[in-house]
Chain A
Amino acid sequence: MIQKRDLTCIGCPMGCQITVEFEGEEIKSVTGNNCKIGDRYARKEVIHPERTVTSTVAVTGGDKERCSVKTRGNIPKDMIFECMDEINRVCIPAPVKIGDVIIPDVCGTGIDVVATRNIHKV
């Protein structure tokens, strides 16, 4: 049976209203998107939804006690809290530079958690 789902694209702030028709794991059609990102998002969202996770990790010896981080790519949506558990356990020493890998291959997703700000050593 062909299923239909209406989605709001989160690929960019436009928030296109997309309609996806799919049968099992097979996408039949994607409509309403204004760009490729929307198409890609919609295909993934109905089968394997993914998200980027942003948070902070504890830092010692720096000019701040928290450093913001992100998953360098999307991880499966149902692994967000598992990923947070790992992020919450980490404590890194200063200095930190944007892009430094904080947790490689978080939760076996193949995605690294990286720093998104610079922390100076004090």
Chain B
Amino acid sequence: MLYDVIIVGAGVSGCAIARELSRYRLNICVLEKEEDVCCGTTKANSAIVHAGFDAATGSMMAKLNVRGNEMMDQIAADLDVPFRRNGALVVCTDPDELGGLQELYDRGIANGLRADSMEILNREEALAIEPNLADDVVGAFYAKTSGIICPFLLNIAMAENANVNGVDFFFNTEVEKIEAENTAPGGERIWKIRTCNGEYRTRYIVNAAGVYADVFHNMVSSRKIHITPRRGSYCLLDRTAGNHVSHTVFAQPGKMGKGVLVTPTIHGNLLIGPNAQDIENKEGTNTTADSLNEIIEKAARNVKNIPMRQVITSFAGLRAHENGHDFIIGEVEDAPHFIDCAGIESPGLSSSPAIGEYVRKLLEEKMKPERKENWVGTRRGILNPDSLSFEERNELIRKNPAYGRIICRCESVTEGEILDAIRRPLGARSLDGVKRRTRAGMGRCQAGFCSPRTMEILHRELGLPYEKITKSGGDSRLVIGRTKEHSGEEE
């Protein structure tokens, strides 16, 4: 089958584009090398919706961040994704650098932020709204439109919504080679994509492959780009520490990005990180002792008394840093019908709705597709029974007893939610898939309690033998087989 558009990569950019394009009568599919959406850069980042004052004025980053931020309320409401504008404080700890805060304000204005959405605070004013700021903090830049979101759910929701509107998703499908078919002069350009799961043909390609976007770009273009995986490590703290700060607290920006932040997450945990370390390995999501020590030390410069004993996990993510430090979005000059969506590092998550919109408009112009009459732009998330009243909850359990059985005690996730996560469009296929959709295993015991129980549900629902149940697809099998494998057999 010939697709109209193939999107490579099911991260938040690829899925935002897929959802936007699903408005049209087009044959679209998404190719993803991992077993699920949200397995790369979108999986491990600060989960912040940036206000838009940080990026260089006039850059794609600045434009799309500001637009993405504006769009986020509506998209979060439409897709039932938790999002809250908690505000951000960029704190200054050096009296000589206080002028830098004004620069942020001025850049915010230049980038199109409303003047009343920003404020420069002196130490007392900052402490009044954020009491745990470090003793060295001398002032702060306050960006009121900054927010926190669940990146997993945003990505998953966009993908689900695209899928119900007709976009195909192929997982475990790694792209190996992209080439243009030989066409007669003036004939239609067709791209051939060879994957580990066979060949796909398409009129247009969107390259939203995160840290691999340079690889695919360079397959078709003589104007090479280079993406450096820029690793950032994080520590996630228990919910009991979630109120330590109420705003996202940034350090004043430096050369390597926005510095280490301390923020509540939308789910009530406390998150600290990231540092920035350029590496070569595009799969190098390991943490190191040095990087963890670095973020712990740097976080403490801006926020005091962080209860580090409440750490429940640490992780690292890779930013797709392109040498030019801007988003590269558009048709590749020497490769017609090949649309790059590369270099999507921070503020990529914040920009994602705008990236989707931008690429949609671009393709709309080129392809002149017909709009669908029956496009559905909304999606319901997995019901969180904690949001119900006592009576409503009982009614739910009467109708579906699975909502009466707790599987993850730390996050209070019921079997009903896990079943929903597995059965819905593009449902979970692994422990991590369930975790990203329901938070089962995300709590303070880090799946010690629920993993055997979740495995049993995956086994039952998907008909998978235990040996084939994985943590996150591929070879990440959780058990190697049964005990007593030779019982009853004569050897």
Binding site for B on A (CB under 8 A): 56-58, 66, 88-91
Contact = CB atoms under 8 A, between A and B. Distances in A.
Give the residue among B484, B489, B491 with the most A Cβ atoms within 10 A. B484
A90 B487 CA distance: 5
Interface in B440-489: 483-484, 486-489
Contact of A56 (B484, B488, B489, B491): B484
A91 B484 CA distance: 9
B483 A89 contact: no
Nearest to B491: A89
Nearest to A87: B484
B483 A91 contact: no
A3 B398 CA distance: 73
A103 to B, nearest CB: 12
A91 B488 CA distance: 5
Contacts of B487: 57-58, 88-91
Contacts of A89: 486-491
A76 to B, nearest CB: 23
21 contacts: A56-B484, A57-B484, A57-B487, A58-B484, A58-B487, A58-B488, A66-B483, A66-B484, A88-B483, A88-B484, A88-B486, A88-B487, A89-B486, A89-B487, A89-B488, A89-B490, A89-B491, A90-B487, A90-B488, A91-B484, A91-B488
A57 B484 CA distance: 7
B483 A56 contact: yes
A90 B490 CA distance: 10
Interface residues of B, number: 8
Contacts of B484: 56-58, 66, 88, 91
A90 B483 CA distance: 12
Given A58-B488, A88-B483, 13 more contacts: A56-B484, A66-B484, A88-B484, A88-B486, A88-B487, A89-B487, A89-B488, A89-B489, A89-B491, A90-B487, A90-B488, A91-B487, A91-B488
B25 to A, nearest CB: 52
B400 to A, nearest CB: 24
A58 B484 CA distance: 7
Contacts of A66: 483-484
Contacts of A91: 484, 487-488
B481 to A, nearest CB: 13
Nearest to B485: A88
Nearest to A65: B482
Nearest to B488: A91
A85 to B, nearest CB: 9
A57 B483 CA distance: 9
A89 B484 CA distance: 7
Nearest to A88: B484
A42 to B, nearest CB: 34
Contacts of B489: 89
A56 B490 CA distance: 18
Contacts of B490: 89
A91 B483 CA distance: 12
A89 B485 CA distance: 9
Contacts of B491: 89
Residue from B486, B487, B488 whose CB has the most chain A CB atoms within 10 Å = B487
Nearest to A56: B483
A7 to B, nearest CB: 32
A99 B490 CA distance: 26
Contacts of A57: 484, 487
A57 B485 CA distance: 10
A88 B491 CA distance: 11
A88 B490 CA distance: 11
A88 B488 CA distance: 8
Closest 6 A-B residue pairs measured CB to CB?
A58-B487, A91-B488, A91-B487, A58-B484, A88-B484, A89-B487
Contacts of B486: 88-89
A121 to B, nearest CB: 18
A56 B484 CA distance: 8
Interface string B99-130: 00000000000000000000000000000000
